[in-house]
Amino acid sequence: LARGIQHTAVRQAHRKYEPNFHDKYGNLVLLGGAAVFTTVWGYVLTQLGMEWGLSPVGRITPREWRE
């Protein structure tokens, strides 16, 4: 078994290297994902009307308990 694996590894090492999908498009996919991430979070943080104050004191009022 080990000899077959070794033989396969040697055969692949001598084969001419062909760029795969990640070699061709990896950086493009990464940049596209980063752009989508930035756009979505930019929208979320600016358009959804959140008030950015870290202290909840005075904002949270308890609702009446419903039975």
In this predicted model, what pLDDT tens digit does every residue of 35-55 receive, in sequence order? 999 999 998 888 876 666 666
Question: Could you tell me how many residues make up the chain?
Answer: 67
How far apart CA 12 and CA 29 sit, in angstroms, is: 27
The residue that leads in pLDDT, 46 or 32, is 32
What is the reported pTM? Answer: 0.45
Domain boundaries along the sequence of the chain? 19-47
Confidence at 19, pLDDT banded by 50, 70, 90 = confident
Whole-number pLDDT of residue 18:
82
